[in-house]
């Protein structure tokens, strides 16, 4: 089954949004548990490992979305690595802002594609 470029972009957008929501939920749960002091050291390490895995998955999905937008593997790999660097060195704020920027760019490209078809 051959899928159109628009369908592929929409699927990757959904995956990026899903992993972004998972990251936010994991951060909120960890923060609330830390505030209540009801988190043991082992559970904190488990939650940090989960957050790291979600972040890795999120950067892979962003790289795939960029690849579906621009059709360049090197750019997609660079964006994925950049997302990881932002998440670990900018305390996640850069990751969220960059994710919203990529989602905005993909939305404008989808609108252009729809305008060209009509």
Range of the domain at 16: 5-117
The answer to whether 83 and 63 have CB atoms below 8 angstroms apart is: yes
DSSP letter at 1 equals -
Q: What is the number of structural domains in the chain?
A: 1
What does the pLDDT look like over 51-103, one tens digit per residue? 888 888 989 999 999 999 888 889 889 988 888 888 877 667 888 888 899 99
Q: What is the pLDDT of residue 13?
A: 92
């Amino acid at each position: 089954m051959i899928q159109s470029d628009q369908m592929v972009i929409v699927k990757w957008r959904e995956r990026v949004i899903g992993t972004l929501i998972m990251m936010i939920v994991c951060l909120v749960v960890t923060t609330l548990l830390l505030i209540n002091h009801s988190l043991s050291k082992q559970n904190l390490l488990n939650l940090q490992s989960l957050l790291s895995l979600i972040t890795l998955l999120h950067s892979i999905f962003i790289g795939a979305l960029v690849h579906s937008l621009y059709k360049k593997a090197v750019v997609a790999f660079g964006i994925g690595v950049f997302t990881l660097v932002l998440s670990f060195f900018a305390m996640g704020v850069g990751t969220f802002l960059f994710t919203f920027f990529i989602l905005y760019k993909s939305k404008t490209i989808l609108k252009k594609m729809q305008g060209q078809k009509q």
